[in-house]
Amino acid sequence: MGETANIPSWLGVAASVLLVLLALSVSVRYRLGLTRELAVAAVRAFVQLLAVGALLLIVFERGGLLAAFGWLAIMVVIGGFVAGRRAAQLPRGVHSAMAAIAIAVGVTLGVLLAFRVVAATPEVVIPVGGMVVSGAMAASALTLRRVQESARDQRERVEARLSLGLTTAEAFAPEEREAVRTALIPAIDSTKVVGLISLPGAMTGLILAGVAPLDAIRYQIVVMYMLLSAASLASFLSAKFAHRSLFADGARLVPIGASPVTMVR
């Protein structure tokens, strides 16, 4: 495949620097004050991708499957931090996000590998796993953000339910459901319009690499379905884990956006 694929040579890459110069000239011409930032972004993209390419080469040639799963684990940790920090006032937000993303990725990728839908090789596990992680991360971030808002803004509502003797799970269930619903809308929408508005990444990549369109879409269908699973699981689990950290002993809703009652002496 590599031989037949229509991939730019390094000379081609050098020529594409002309396009960066074009972007820079716009900034200079209109005094946008973005010249430096544009140049830095272009250089950063080059360096980052070069580093990732080199690392991937090492993993593919020497590391094997174990290194690929190690790579995936690092992505899960980074994803957990990114999603958890979207809800910085939530107690143990990063923990909730990381655990939810890890399980969502584990289950989704596990199903794909167990049924041999995708091959268990580093060349597949890393990019496919990366897509699963980013889908799970986006859903987890949206869910936690919404849970945080509810715990802060719907406090009276939740405490009114607690005051009727409802359990914390019952008292927070409507907010939890709404958070998961909201978080899943982007994943559902992008599944609905796939192919209509944009040609998605996996399919584009395969077509660029010379794969026949009807073969490329099979991969894309699997990708869309796995993203639905990753988003649903990550959102549901994020809400569950966040719910646990929202209530203290004695079924009290902890204060959000303020530190809890401290011990005297």
Q: Is 252 among the residues that bind other proteins (CB under 8 A)? A: yes
Of 163, 193, 196, 214, which one interacts with other proteins (CB under 8 A)?
163
Is the distance from CB of 95 to CB of 144 less than 8 angstroms?
Answer: no
Nearer to other proteins, 157 or 240 (CB): 157
Q: Is 259 among the residues that bind other proteins (CB under 8 A)? A: yes
Q: Is 169 among the residues that bind other proteins (CB under 8 A)? A: no
Q: Is 159 among the residues that bind other proteins (CB under 8 A)? A: yes
- Terminal C-alpha separation, the chain: 70
Q: Token digits for 227?
A: 């993203």
Angle value at C-alpha 182, between 176 and 188, nearest 5 degrees: 125
Task: Return the exposure string of 76-105: e unless at least 16 CB atoms fall within 10 Å of the residue's CB, then b.
Answer: beebbebbbebbeebbebbebbbbbbbbbb
Q: Is 164 among the residues that bind other proteins (CB under 8 A)? A: yes
Q: Is 254 among the residues that bind other proteins (CB under 8 A)? A: no
Q: Is 261 among the residues that bind other proteins (CB under 8 A)? A: yes
The contact pattern for other proteins, residues 26-65, with x = CB under 8 A and - = no contact, is ----------------------------------------
Beta-bridge mates of residue 247: 253
In sequence order, the 6+-apart residues with CB closer than 8 A to the CB of 66 are none
Of 47, 192, 251, 257, which one interacts with other proteins (CB under 8 A)?
251
Of 82, 117, 166, 211, which one interacts with other proteins (CB under 8 A)?
166
